[in-house]
Amino acid sequence: MAGNREFFNRRLHSLLGVIPVGLFLMQHLVVNHFATGGEESFNNAAHFMESLPFRIFLETFVIYLPLLFHAIYGLYIAFTAKNNTSKYGYFRNWMFMLQRVSGVITLVFVAWHVWETRVQAAFGAEVNFQMMENILSNPFMFWFYIFGVISAIFHFANGLWSFLVSWGFTVSPRSQVISTYVTIGIFIALSIVGVRALTAFI
């Protein structure tokens, strides 16, 4: 019974990491990338997202609750996993370890980002270009955001590879090699989008 529950929790954790959390990450990166078009471009995109109907419902049930489960169960996985990279230095063993490390880093980053933006917005601050410009004008915060964004993107891209395997989409060794290259491409592409967006604010 306990084994069935853990199997279900791990499958749900994997699914939520891609849908909806991973999709939200990509959407968030795209919205932020509007900053490369200037202050007005970003503010218009942010305002559009803020004005979506049922926004509070969507944020709660499509973003925050799935993210909360993924984060809490992810911590359990991270701190109970047996990493054996020192004994078996295979590529996938390293990816397994880095997935756990990047998950913890991403959780810290996301918690801080939510505090600086969504929580402050609840107290009356406006989430706009100027807010992000003020945050990223601090060199430490800029590099913290760079590191956090890249970590989040890596966690998503590498987790996508695991999702495809665990859900039976890539069963053969050849399909897993192909998905490795695809997910590396996704990591590189989204990292470019994320870094360009951050540099646009400064």
**Chain mean pLDDT for the chain:** 93
- Please report the domains of the chain, with CATH numbers, ordered by start residue: 2-200 (1.20.1300.10)
Position 89 scores a pLDDT of 54
Question: Do the beta carbons of residue 8 and residue 19 sit within 8 Å?
Answer: no
Position 83 scores a pLDDT of 63
Q: What is the pLDDT of residues 168-189, one digit of tens each?
A: 999 999 999 999 999 999 999 9
Q: Residue 35 and residue 44: Cα distance in Å, rounded? A: 10
Q: Residue 171 and residue 8: Cα distance in Å, rounded? A: 20
Say if residue 85's pLDDT is above 80: no
Say if residue 28's pLDDT is above 60: yes
Q: Residue 4 and residue 62: Cα distance in Å, rounded? A: 25
Q: Residue 77 and residue 69: Cα distance in Å, rounded? A: 12
- CA 166, 171, 174, 179 torsion-angle sign: negative
Of 18-32, 74-88, 99-113, which gets the smallest average pLDDT? Answer: 74-88
Q: Which amino acid is at 67?
A: L
Mean pLDDT of 36-53: 94
Say if residue 88's pLDDT is above 50: no
Q: What is the pTM of this model?
A: 0.93
> Which DSSP helix (H) or strand (E) runs through 173?
helix 173-200
Say if residue 9's pLDDT is above 80: yes
Question: Do the beta carbons of residue 133 and residue 202 sit within 8 Å?
Answer: yes
Mean pLDDT of 94-113: 95
User: For residue 180, what are its two tokens?
Assistant: 């490795």
DSSP states of 61-106: IIIIHHHHHHHHHHHHHHHH----TTT---HHHHHHHHHHHHHHHH
Q: How confident is the model at residue 37 (pLDDT cuts 50, 70, 90)?
A: very high
Q: Residue 146 and residue 144: Cα distance in Å, rounded? A: 5
Q: What is the pLDDT of residues 120-149, one digit of tens each?
A: 998 999 999 999 999 999 999 999 999 999
> Radius of gyration over alpha carbons of the chain, in Å?
18
Question: Do the beta carbons of residue 189 and residue 148 sit within 8 Å?
Answer: no
